[in-house]
Every structure is written in C-alpha cells, then in structure tokens.
Amino acid sequence: MKSKKQIRLAHVFLSLGIVIFLQCAQQTVPPTAKKIPKQLTIHGDTRTDNYFWLRERDNPEVINYLKAENKYLEQVMKPHKKLMQHIYDEMVGRIKQDDDTVPYLENGYYYYRHYEEGKEFPIYMRKKGSLEAADEVILDVNQLAKGHDYFYVNSVNVSDDNRFVSFGVDTVSRRQYTIHFKNLETGEMLTDSIPNTLGSSCWANDNKTVFYAVKDSTLRPFKIMRHVLGTNVADDAEIFIETDNTFDAFVFKSKSRKYIFIASYSTLSTEYRFIDADRPLDAFKTIQTRQKDLEYSVSHYNEKFYILTNDQANNFRLMETDVRHTQKRYWKEVIPHRADVLLEDVEIFKDELVLQERKDGLTQLRIINQTTGNDRYVDFGEQVYVANPVNNYEFDTEWLRYSYSSLTTPNSVYDYNMTTGEKKLLKEEEVLGGFDRNNYQAERLFATVNDSVKIPISLVYRKGLVKDGTNPLLLYGYGSYGYSIDPDFSSSRLSLHDRGFVYAIAHIRGGQVMGRQWYEDGKLLNKKNTFTDFIDCAEYLIDQKYTNPNKLFAAGGSAGGLLIGAVVNMRPDLFKAVIAAVPWVDVVTTMLDESIPLTTGEYDEWGNPNKKEYYDYMLSYSPYDNVKAQAYPAMLVTTGLHDSQVQYWEPAKWVAKLRAMKTDNHLLLLHTQMEAGHSGKAGRFERYKETALEYTFLLDQAGIKK
C-alpha cells in the first residue's frame, strides 16, 4: 500500500507531466484558421474558398491568426535559436561596415554612398569637381529614419544647377512614396511634399519644375503631374493620364539632359512622349503611337533618338531617327536583329556605342566605334558571370564603367578604356572573415527537358565536393516576366557552402536568359513549361549525383513562389523541403480581381481569366487551387503584411489550406513580417535576419546542426 507521501508525489509528478504535456502541445500544434466558405463562380464553374476571409486586413481575427502563425514558428525554431543567431552573425560579419561605394562623375560632382559602422542606412555624399575635394552630405538616411519601424529612400535626384535634391520616402513598405525636397546650399528641407508617388521625379532645366507619377487605388502609376517648387501641391498640373488600366506610366530625363520623356508601358507594348527640358510648359509629343506587341525604348544623343525595338525583331534591334521625325516609318537600322543574340540595352558615348547583349545565356558587352564600325567584346575571364554598365553619365569619355560578378567573384566595379582595351579594377566588394574564392567552384550544365530543350543550370559549391548523390543542394528558380536570374555572388550563401551545400540556379523558360523566345515559351498558355523545366532540372541534378531527393531543397520568391507552389503540387516527392518567399499562389482569384495591384497590367503575362481558355489553363496550375490530400515536403512560407506586389493573404490562405489537407507531418511554417512588405526589412543588416531564418530551416531539414 502506498504512503500518503508517495501518493502526494505521484500527484505532483502527474500534474507536472500534464503541464509539460500541455506546454509541448502548445509548442508543437500549429494554429488552425477557421473555415468560412466563399463561393466564386465564373464560366459556369464554382470554386469554394474557405479562407477568403483572410483578405480582411482590418479584421482583428486576421491579425491574430498571422501573429499565431508567427508564434508557432518562434516556438518550433526555438531549439535552433543559437544556430540562427550564429548564422546571422556570420553573414553580417562578412560585411565591411565602414565602407564607400565607387564615386561616379555626373554634372561636375562625384557622387557616392557612405556606410558607417553599425548603422543600417546609407549616407548620400558628393565631392565637387575632384575626388580630393571636401565631402558634402546630401542625405543621411540614418537621421531621417529615426522613429520609423520601416524606412526606405529611393530615387535621389539632384537638380541641374546642383542646388536641390528630390527623393522618395516609403515608411510603410507599400511602395507608395512621398517625394521630399532639400536645399543643398542651406541644408534645409523644403515644405513641398508630394504623396502617393513612384518616388522618382524629373527636373526640368529651370531647376524649379519637376514632373512625377502618381499611383491609383491599385498602386498603378497612371498620372504624370507637374509641380513648381514653393507652390501648393494641390495646384499641380495634370500633364498626362494613362486611361488604359493595362498600362503604367513614368517620367524620366535623357542622359543628355536635353529631353524629358513620359513612358507608357504594358507587358508587350510601349509608347513614349517627349518635350524639350528647357520648355517644361510645352505639350508632350508622341514618338510612336502604341501598337499591339510593339515594344521600344528611347535614348538621345545630338540630333538623334536611338530606338531599341522588337519591331520585326524578336530579339530586338537598334534603330535611329532624327528628333524631328520620330514615327516608326522614319526609323533606320543601326544594329540588325540576330536570332542567337538578345539585344538588352544600349549605352551611348560620343565616339562609341556599347551594346548589352545576351548570348548562350550570358551577358556580353560589345563596343562599337561609331566612325569606323570596328567592334570588340570585353573579356571577363570566367565561364559563369554577369556584367552590366553602371553610372555612365558622361558622353565625352573613353571609359566605360561596368559592374561584374560571378558565383565565386564578389561584386566588382571596373573602368574599361573603349579605345585601348585597358581595364581598371576600381573596387571589389571586400568579404571579411577569411573568404578565399579559390575555395569554391562554379559550373555550368545543361539539362535536356521533356521537349528536348536544353536548360542552363549555374551552380557553385565548395571545392572537394564528391559527386556521390549525398550532398545537400538548394535549387533556385524564377521563370517569369522575361526576367533573367544571373549567376552573381552572394556572401551570405557562404554560410550554406561552408556547411556542404551546393547552390544551383535553374535558368528555366519564362525568363529570358536564352533570348526572347525563352520568355515566350514560358508565359500565357505555355506557362507550365516553367514548372516542368524546374522539375527536369532537379531530376537531372539527381541523375548527375549532385544530390538525392532526401537532400534536395528548392526556393523561389514572388512569381518564383508560384513556381515553388506549382512544383510541390506536381512533384512533392522530389524535395526534402522548400522555401516560398512572398509567393504568388492564388493565381485565378487574384487575376479576376481588378482592384488588386498588378492585376490588369499582367494579362499579357498570365492571361485574362475572364476568358474561359485562360481561366481553365490558369486553374490547372494555380498552387492554391490545386492543393490536395497528399504528402508535401517541409515548407517555410514568408510574407509581409504591407506587401504591395503579392498581398499577404495569398501565402496565408495557402498555408491554411495546406494545413487542412496535407497528409504528412512535415514542418509547415508561415512567417509574416508585420512591419514590412514585398522586399522585407529595409535596413542594411536587418534583412539578413530573414535569410538567417531561411538558412536555419534548410540546415535543420538537412540534419546539419552546426
């Protein structure tokens, strides 16, 4: 017979056990979103959305649910908190904190950004006439950001007389910028304040008139306004209104400072207007009236407009025309179309044209002497890289400035003499912590997919890797909007490489890495090629013994999150775990709602589901609509409450539906940044906290504890 003491102890231990059980249960049981069925009917088809109510941003229950998901993530990741902090410290520790960008010359001043140790934001600086001149502070963003949970500055733009600076400020992370002005001679902030803009502004040559773009309720920049410093913003003049809701509008100044342009653009069509920058009150004249599927962009030099266009040129060609005769019938060919080369951009100098080209998936810089026609290509010395012209504001110079990076070479800035071929390395990003590029190896492979197309794969890993199928590998993809994911350097990724991870980029269709047709073959009714390309690349890497399905991870963000969502529905067995960052996953419902940002302007990218053909096709791959009762890999999903590009409720709804339907017990986490939007935190170091979370999630799933 038990004594009273034994019985009391038994009760104590039982109570303690119950408490421990309840604590464990609280830590391990994820929140459940309630179901409120919403019927959505079109084309005779009805979908039931049980989580439509999560769109109610002002509903306290919605906020509480998001916070509960954050709390669950915090509890699940608590055992890994020390590793997460260590990874964050590693990444930040590689950054030279007291640093300057390379100064560039513009209109008599050398401009650069200065970063101070421990501070999150840049200080915009300049020197007059010489690099030996005294430093002048244009903007100290650290001072401006005080008292704000989120703060981001864009489009710092100095007037032609160098007296005033305009800049855009976003304090919500909704990409709705308020334009402010500062007198650089006195240091005072002007009272002029223009809300709800793109943030950028364009100075007329009188140094008091500025043009800017205003956003509508869907955050579409649709109206160009004119403001005069010192006047009431409410009295600003409407200059242009873009009435077609599939088009956006913006305004900018030519490199020559001679003309101001208004650009209207949709996915597949553009239209430009211009005035003389000396005459800001003039009416804008159209260069070439918009036509379906006609894209063009405009640069100016001397008495010519240079026109980069897809007119009878799928991979684009370069034309020129007299500024007095701008319609397409007057355009004359300068650089013809080439089937194997995508002409991406042109930089104009007094004596040379610099073409930014893409061939066989890689960027090229081609320099053409405008007098002799002789050309040369810049030699970069690596097989996997990316190079782009940057900060070339002066016409009369022999020097081309470009940025360069590769999977093993930190971001670098070069000056290249277009006459002699001399190359000067001005700065290579300093990576602290003992980084040595010779410890890493980059490769370029081609995976043959189901329709015999060869998909490029760029990958990098620490040397000494044994290709025996046992390596953890992170496969990244995007594949939309013709945007090419280039193989550039990331110091933060070293935290994965040094723990054995291979990093690979699948250059899938929907991007433009292999030319314009690569894009055409991955959008609209060809969109599924994007997803099957990614799957085929994953299988190829397994076949080549880089990894195996239990060590294979995938990641993508925004439209790349759509990719991840579609792929895990199609082949959930192929991946150990995935990361979907700010993922666009509720494709059909979003594209049927014209009140949501980006919807109407993207019909040419995804299709208009008001038409049954596109509705049926989009419904067949939409990640949210195709969640099913099956086992999924472990998943980390991230979003921002103020996301302007992909509304927070898409990933929130997706996670809620996955929780209700998936048949596995693999980890499913949702992280909502309550004070951020599509691009996450704005600070120089704060952004790495999200990366540290992602990497810790991957390492945990890979069984790597240190």
User: Quick one: 528 and 641 in the same domain?
Assistant: yes
User: Quick one: 372 and 467 in the same domain?
Assistant: no
> Which residues have CB under 8 Å from 68's CB, separation 6+?
31
Residue from 435, 444, 385, 436 nearest 411 by CA? 385
Residue ranges in 394-515 assigned as alpha helix (H): 494-497
User: Quick one: 494 and 642 in the same domain?
Assistant: yes
Quick check: is 379 catalytic?
no
Residue of 643, 644, 671, 700 with catalytic role: 643
On whether the CB atoms of residues 638 and 690 are closer than 8 A, the answer is yes
The per-residue pLDDT for 395 is 95
DSSP letters spanning 561-613: HHHHHHHHHH-GGG-SEEEEES----HHHHHT-TTSTTSGGGHHHH--TTSHH
Residue of 558, 622, 642, 644 with catalytic role: 558
Q: Is residue 76 part of a domain?
A: yes
User: Quick one: 453 and 375 in the same domain?
Assistant: no
Q: Is 496 helix (H, G, I), strand (E, B) or coil?
A: helix
**Which letter, b or e, does each residue of 675-701 get, where b requires 16 or more Cβ atoms within 10 Å of its Cβ?**
ebbbbbbbbbeebbbbbbbbbbbbbbb
User: Quick one: 537 and 651 in the same domain?
Assistant: yes
Q: Is residue 256 part of a domain?
A: no
User: Quick one: 521 and 564 in the same domain?
Assistant: yes
Residue from 590, 637, 449, 474 nearest 526 by CA? 449
The per-residue pLDDT for 660 is 97
Q: Is 494 helix (H, G, I), strand (E, B) or coil?
A: helix
Q: What is the mean pLDDT of the chain?
A: 93
CA–CA distance, 88 with 691 (Å, rounded to integer): 8
The per-residue pLDDT for 383 is 86
User: Quick one: 378 and 450 in the same domain?
Assistant: no
CA–CA distance, 365 with 233 (Å, rounded to integer): 43
Last residue of a domain, one of 374, 402, 431: 431
User: Quick one: 527 and 671 in the same domain?
Assistant: yes
The per-residue pLDDT for 21 is 33
Quick check: is 666 catalytic?
no
The per-residue pLDDT for 679 is 66
Quick check: is 678 catalytic?
yes
Q: Is residue 366 part of a domain?
A: yes
User: Quick one: 476 and 401 in the same domain?
Assistant: no
User: Quick one: 529 and 644 in the same domain?
Assistant: yes
User: Quick one: 500 and 641 in the same domain?
Assistant: yes
User: Quick one: 415 and 450 in the same domain?
Assistant: no
CA–CA distance, 322 with 312 (Å, rounded to integer): 20
* CATH number assigned to the domain comprising residue 576: 3.40.50.1820
Q: Which residues pair with 41 in a beta bridge?
A: 46
CA–CA distance, 498 with 666 (Å, rounded to integer): 26
Ranges in the chain, pLDDT < 70: 1-27, 679-681
Identify the domain containing residue 385 by its residue range: 340-431
On whether the CB atoms of residues 654 and 565 are closer than 8 A, the answer is yes
Q: Is residue 312 part of a domain?
A: no
pTM comes to 0.92
Q: Is residue 486 part of a domain?
A: yes
Last residue of a domain, one of 388, 403, 431: 431
Q: Is residue 626 part of a domain?
A: yes
Question: Distances in Å between the alpha carbon of 201 and those of 184, 194, 197, 227, 530?
Answer: 17, 10, 9, 10, 37
What length does the chain have? 706
Q: Is residue 594 part of a domain?
A: yes
Residue of 201, 497, 678, 700 with catalytic role: 678
* Number of separate domains in the chain: 2
The per-residue pLDDT for 681 is 67
Last residue of a domain, one of 431, 464, 496: 431
Q: Is residue 372 part of a domain?
A: yes
The per-residue pLDDT for 23 is 38
Side chain identity at 450, as an amino acid letter? N
If 0-12 CB within 10 Å is exposed, 13-18 middle and 19+ buried, where does residue 369 land? middle
